[in-house]
Each structure stands twice: as C-alpha cells, then as structure tokens.
Chains A and B, each alone.
Chain A
Amino acid sequence: GAGVSQSPRYKVAKRGQDVALRCDPISGHVSLFWYQQALGQGPEFLTYFQNEAQLDKSGLPSDRFFAERPEGSVSTLKIQRTQQEDSAVYLCASSRTSGLIYNEQFFGPGTRLTVL
C-alpha cells in the first residue's frame, strides 16, 4: 500500500515568509510525528499527535512553529516568519498505535525547506 507522503518535496522561502508543509500518513495510522533534520544531524522530535489530539509539542523550537491534524488524518506543519535557521528537512512519520508499546514509525520522504 501507499506509504507516508509529504508535500511539497522541496520548498524555497524568503526569510519572513510563512510556509505550510503537509503530511499524509498511512491510512488508519493513529499516531503521527514530525521531526526536523538539520544538515549533518539526526532527526529531532518536534511534535506528536494521537488522532487529532496534539499530545506532545515540546520539541517545537519556537512559537513560530504550529502543527495541526484537525480530522485525525492529514497533518500540516506551519512555520511563520521563517528564519534561515529553519532550513532543514522536515520528516513526518506515522504508526498504528501509540503509548507504552512501541509500534514501528514509518517515515515519509521529507520536505526540504531552504530559507534564503
């Protein structure tokens, strides 16, 4: 079946612009994660949803970052007033369930954001 998809795959923004990154998880997956991966670094956790509820947003670096998943499926990560330090690959992952028992997280291809 189809895996996690993300759009756009590449985004170039001028500093100060707002951007919106979309994630389509695997159908039926309850949990959805966003990670930020800077050049030469491993992915870093941003936020996590269980269905439409955002249960953890402790990794969001500033209040310019906002994520939503209103119907418990597609999620959007929005970055307001982008800065050069926001340049990174943004990864989305989904898994069947969540909680104490780990279920494999399936990753999307990522969106590469470049802020000029």
Chain B
Amino acid sequence: AQRVTQPEKLLSVFKGAPVELKCNYSYSGSPELFWYVQYSRQRLQLLLRHISRESIKGFTADLNKGETSFHLKKPFAQEEDSAMYYCALKVRTSGSRLTFGEGTQLTVNP
C-alpha cells in the first residue's frame, strides 16, 4: 500500500529565510503528488500538484522519483505562509482517493 511521510511535525523559520517542507512517499508506480495547505480557521485547500509544474504563492515542488520525494520549497518565507501543510498522493489503482501525510506545521516568525 502507498504511504506518505512528512518527517517534521513542526518547522519554524524567520521571515525572509528559505523554507523546505519534506515529503517522502512509498509507491512503486507513477503516482501523482500534491501539496495541500490549511491556514488557521480555514478549510483544507490545494496548493499545488506536481503535474502542473507551477509556482503558487512562491512555492515550488519537484517530484524526484529516484529519491521518492516531493519536497515543498520557498526561497523567502513570509509570515502569511504560516499554516499546516499536507503532502498527498494519488495512485491510479486507487481511483481518486488521496493518501495524506501527517502534516507539517510551519511557523514563520517576524
């Protein structure tokens, strides 16, 4: 069965510093990977997906199949980036269901 691991439950950086949220997955095939974000008192929402290869709010993520990783990066963190971030995976054999990691709480300090 597929699995998503986010090794850091908490991550704290200062404003303007680079940030990297780690995500590793276990699946032998070709999955689709996503990052979801949940800001305080808001609902879970899609941040970006690897297929789009786009930058959202300054965040990027590259799928590394060799290392089975999909780390989320931003060169200069902002206070408004403080949120809970979840990495998620979808595999074809499981339909559209998502498998989520445990999440990383990012705090950007002023």
Contact = CB atoms under 8 A, between A and B. Distances in A.
B96 interface: yes
Contacts of A110: 43
A31 B49 CA distance: 19
Name the interface size band of chain B. Answer: 20 to 34
Nearest to A4: B43
B100 A43 contact: yes
Contacts, number: 60
Interface in B50-93: 51, 86, 88, 90, 92
B43 A102 contact: no
A45 interface: yes
A95 interface: yes
Interface of B: 4, 6, 9, 32, 43-46, 49, 51, 86, 88, 90, 92, 94-103
